[in-house]
């Protein structure tokens, strides 16, 4: 005789089925409303930002490209370390980068057209596609490529999952903080879009996806913040006379770490979390087949 599932278990499954489409549709709806209704003042991009250490050799149209070389080459050279074996995992990583990168490029194109941000032609090669410099396209490859390498190195060399004891409250706290900022700054397109998507994705991950690697991702993200802020410092004007990436001051929080908007940290979190999520899913699928 078939045993019936407890009523509370059945109710939980029904609630999960109801909540899932809401968590997928609601952030898209909220972001879509802002993108379609938001009025952005054209030509309002900042050329003067706080500087940390001006570097004369970055005053060139190859500055953004140099950044990719310095990001990619060291990681590529270390990819053949036996303990990490990064090169063996590229078959799972590259599809994840392409999928997530495609979403972020569409977002990038829209914000560039809208005037939320733009690019300084002084520091780019002049070659572009869909209104973005070719170097900006490369950003969505080289940065995740480097950050996932950090993630895997920490996994290989630090066996203990240091943040595991606080992973659940930390995840809920991050989701709550991101959502609060996203709603509180409704109307500032960069801030609200980034924090709302980050908050909803973190909550979705907590409720529906495998949490075994979340704490390890958080540690890797904290470690990667230093090089991430260094790279973004170059892009946002910490080391050049003018920024490579120009921001509309009305569309972000207005808080900077040297020259880097705080919003960029949340943007990077969402980008890398998305790539790591697909990367781990592809790896798990391969092992289970």
Nearest alpha-carbon partner for 96 in 222, 235, 280: 280
Instruction: Identify the band that residue 285 occupies on the pLDDT scale cut at 50, 70 and 90.
Output: confident
Q: Is 148 exposed, middle or buried (0-12, 13-18, 19+ CB in 10 A)?
A: buried
pLDDT in tens, 80-103: 988 999 999 999 999 999 999 999
Instruction: Say which residue the tokens 């949340």 belong to.
Output: 266
pLDDT confidence of residue 18: 81
**Distance separating alpha carbons of residues 103 and 132, to the nearest angstrom:** 14
> Which comes out higher in pLDDT, residue 89 or 9?
89
**Distance separating alpha carbons of residues 27 and 5, to the nearest angstrom:** 33
Instruction: Identify the band that residue 47 occupies on the pLDDT scale cut at 50, 70 and 90.
Output: very high
Please answer whether residues 15 and 207 qualify as being in contact, where contact means their C-beta atoms are separated by less than 8 angstroms. Answer: no
pLDDT confidence of residue 16: 72
Nearest alpha-carbon partner for 220 in 232, 228, 208: 228
What is the token pair recorded at 268? 């990077």
Q: In the Cβ-directed half-sphere of 144, how many Cα atoms lie within 13 Å?
A: 30
What is the token pair recorded at 41? 């003042």
pLDDT confidence of residue 287: 59
Q: In the Cβ-directed half-sphere of 259, how many Cα atoms lie within 13 Å?
A: 27
Q: Measured between alpha carbons, how far apart are the two ends of the chain, in Å?
A: 33
């Amino acid at each position: 005789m078939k045993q019936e599932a407890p009523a509370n278990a059945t109710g939980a499954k029904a609630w999960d089925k109801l909540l899932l489409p809401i968590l997928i549709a609601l952030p898209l709806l909220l972001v879509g409303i802002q993108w379609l209704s938001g009025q952005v003042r054209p030509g309002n991009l900042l050329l003067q930002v706080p500087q940390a250490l001006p570097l004369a050799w970055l005053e060139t149209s190859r500055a953004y490209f140099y950044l990719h070389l310095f990001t990619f080459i060291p990681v590529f050279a270390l990819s053949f370390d036996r303990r990490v074996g990064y090169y063996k995992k590229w078959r799972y990583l590259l599809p994840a980068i392409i999928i997530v990168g495609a979403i972020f490029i569409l977002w990038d194109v829209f914000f560039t057209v809208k005037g939320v941000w733009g690019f300084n032609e002084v520091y780019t090669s002049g070659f572009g596609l869909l209104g973005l410099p070719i170097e900006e396209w490369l950003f969505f490859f080289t940065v995740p490529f480097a950050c996932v390498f950090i993630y895997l190195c920490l996994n290989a060399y630090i066996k203990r999952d240091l943040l595991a004891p606080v992973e659940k409250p930390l995840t809920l706290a991050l989701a709550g903080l991101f959502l609060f900022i996203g709603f509180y700054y409704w109307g500032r397109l960069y801030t609200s879009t980034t924090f709302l998507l980050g908050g909803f994705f973190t909550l979705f991950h907590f409720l529906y996806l495998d949490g075994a690697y979340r704490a390890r991702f958080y540690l890797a993200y904290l470690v990667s913040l230093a090089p991430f802020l260094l790279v973004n410092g170059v892009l946002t004007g910490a080391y050049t006379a003018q920024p490579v990436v120009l921001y509309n001051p009305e569309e972000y929080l207005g808080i900077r770490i040297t020259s880097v908007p705080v919003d960029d940290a949340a943007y990077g979190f969402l980008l890398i979390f998305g790539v790591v999520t697909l990367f781990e899913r592809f790896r798990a699928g391969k092992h289970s087949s």
